[in-house]
Amino acid sequence: MQKVFALCFLLGLCSLPSYTLAESLNDVIRAAISKHPDIALAQTNTSLAHNDQRRIQGMLDPTLSLNLSSSDETTPTTSPFATNQTQVSQLSGNIVKPWEDGSSLSANLSYNRTKLNYPASVPTTFQSSVNPVYKHQIDLTYRYPLLRGHNNPSYHEQLQISAQNEQASRWRVQQLKEQLAEQATALYFQLAADYLSVNLAKDTVNRAKKLLTYQKKREQFGLIEKAERLQAEALLASRQMAYANAIATRKKSLTSLNRLMLRSGSSPISTKIESIRAKDHRSLDINQLLQKAEEQRAIFQALDADEQANQASSQIALDQSDTQLDVIAQVGSRALSGSAGKTLGQGFTLNDRFISIGLEVHDSLGGNVAKANIQKVELQRERIILQRTQAIENIKSTLSSAITNYENAKMLMRSSMLQEQAEQRKFNAEIKRYREGRSNTATIVQFEGDLRIAELQAALQGIQMQLASKQIHLATGDVLKQVETP
């Protein structure tokens, strides 16, 4: 018998008056997610995080610099054999290429022309025999880090951090979608409850009108006093006021739901409440539901990405705490003559050359900066752990509340339906007694009020059970998964 009552009631919920084409909750959530500006705004953070990866990849781009200069210097001199004018033209260039292993290769080129001018009083024999003079120099320098910067963690780990930040940003967009889904669900079921309240309020107005019509006829025949007719009028006025309040509340809920979907506030929506299937809640074990939530909810995926980024930051911080010890190898060519072409050609040979190898050490005394960076990373890791604990407890609280509401509504729904039927029988019996002159208007008014409360309670229990069921699915991440599944 319980199943029959429940089935009839849920079928009644699904057959609400058709104000417009009925929209399912999933349709409403899709509309809210697809149009809400907060989603587009949050997605810009994902684009920024993706763009940051290109910036980091640019750390391996070669850098090039060129310089072309010319100078003319005239200076006074006290020596009769010294130059009084020096003209220098110079072309220099530098290119540096970093590598993924942390090493770097740089090439430097310098080609210049220097001309010395002497006073007219200086004999030619005392002037420079090669004038102007051309100088060409090429140096290749290779730097390889042995400690700090070895294997280039600054590049690889920053690239990892950027990739994880992009993933976290994507999951935070999902979190925002979950929040919109929760808002849409609450507003949707509130609107469904408001529709029921309006329908029930309309029924009570009709009952009050029938009672008033009956009272007026009895008053005409002198069967009742005027006061009893006034009681019926007061009852109708009260029920009409309740009906107006129900309509106003429904309009408010309708506006809120429409604006969540960026529609006109007055756009009509007819809710479509789906029946709870038997398989939906075969088990309400909170541990199983929580495990499902940890697998599906975006907050945990975002925290996983944050944790991966934190590990990469830790590697960078540890690397920066090391002493810098680099091996530096250099080889260069040297050329000097009075011929521009000859000097240029000799610059690409090793007839005259420079070769060196050495070690370069850098370190900071105290290491406070490195220690502060390591501590910062550790504190960020602790925060991620606390955020995960916080998320678990919040979802556990949500699940506990939803499960309790679901079980309570399921338990109370049969009782409320039985109460409604009992109040209906009581009201009908009292109406019959009233027509037989064995009751009074005040009792009828009271019993009608009892019936109205029972009807509303029975209807709202069904809505509450459906809402609690959806809240459970929201907490585990099932609703958004269904909405986004093609």
Give the pairing of strands 63-74 and 353-362: unpaired
pLDDT digits (tens, 9 = 90+) for 100-134: 999 999 999 999 999 888 777 777 777 777 789 99
Provide the CATH number for the domain around residue 387. 1.20.1600.10
- 371 lies in a domain? no
Rounded to the nearest 5°, which phi and psi values hold at 222?
75, 20
- 468 lies in a domain? yes
Given a cut of 90, is residue 444 above it in pLDDT? no
Provide the domain limits for residue 414: 2-53+157-309+377-484
Same domain, 426 and 409: yes
Same domain, 417 and 470: yes
Same domain, 303 and 443: yes
pLDDT digits (tens, 9 = 90+) for 231-250: 889 989 998 999 999 999 99
| Residue 347 pLDDT class (50, 70, 90 cuts) | confident
Instruction: Show the DSSP H helices in 261-297 as ranges.
Output: 286-296
Q: Identify which of 167, 178, 174, 153 has the alpha carbon closest to the alpha carbon of residue 306.
A: 167
- 58 lies in a domain? no
pLDDT at 409: 86
Q: Are 153 and 446 a contacting pair, CB within 8 Å?
A: no
Please report, rounded to a whole number, the percentage of residues in the chain having pLDDT higher than 70: 92
Q: How far is CA 185 from the centre of its chain?
A: 19
pLDDT at 278: 44
Q: Identify which of 131, 216, 145, 165 has the alpha carbon closest to the alpha carbon of residue 360.
A: 145
Coil, strand or helix at 2: helix
pLDDT digits (tens, 9 = 90+) for 280-306: 555 678 999 999 999 999 999 999 999
Give the H/E segment covering residue 15.
Answer: none
pLDDT digits (tens, 9 = 90+) for 387-422: 999 999 999 999 999 999 988 888 888 888 888 888
pLDDT at 268: 87
pLDDT at 274: 64
- 391 lies in a domain? yes
Given a cut of 70, is residue 13 above it in pLDDT? no
Same domain, 86 and 193: no
Same domain, 219 and 84: no
Same domain, 82 and 37: no
Highest mean pLDDT pick, 137-146, 271-280, 344-353, 359-368: 137-146
pLDDT at 249: 95
Q: What is the pTM of this model?
A: 0.76
Q: How far is CA 128 from CA 75, 83, 123, 203, 275, in A?
A: 17, 10, 11, 119, 105
- Rounded CA-CA distance 358/151 in Å is 20
Same domain, 333 and 411: no
- 8 lies in a domain? yes
Residue 277 DSSP code: P
Same domain, 225 and 127: no
pLDDT at 14: 36
The total of other beta-carbon atoms located within 10 Å of residue 104's CB is: 19
Q: In sequence order, what are the residues at sequence separation of 6 or more whose Cβ sits closer than 8 angstroms to the Cβ of residue 95?
A: 62, 63, 64, 65, 106, 107
- Rounded CA-CA distance 483/301 in Å is 19
Given a cut of 80, is residue 384 above it in pLDDT? yes
Q: How many Cα atoms occupy the beta-carbon half-sphere of 271 within 13 Å?
A: 27
Same domain, 392 and 421: yes
- Rounded CA-CA distance 209/110 in Å is 105
The total of other beta-carbon atoms located within 10 Å of residue 351's CB is: 9
- 224 lies in a domain? yes
Q: Domain total for the chain?
A: 2
Same domain, 331 and 428: no
- 107 lies in a domain? yes
Q: Are 313 and 390 a contacting pair, CB within 8 Å?
A: no
Coil, strand or helix at 74: strand
pLDDT at 8: 38
- Rounded CA-CA distance 466/405 in Å is 10
Mean pLDDT score, 138-147: 95
pLDDT digits (tens, 9 = 90+) for 181-200: 999 999 999 999 899 889 88
Provide the residue type at 383 as one letter.
R
Q: What is the DSSP string of 82-113?
A: S-SEEEEEEEEEEEEEE-TTS-EEEEEEEEEE
C-alpha R_g of the chain: 43
Same domain, 190 and 254: yes
pLDDT at 292: 92
Q: Are 317 and 126 a contacting pair, CB within 8 Å?
A: no
- 261 lies in a domain? yes
Same domain, 120 and 203: no
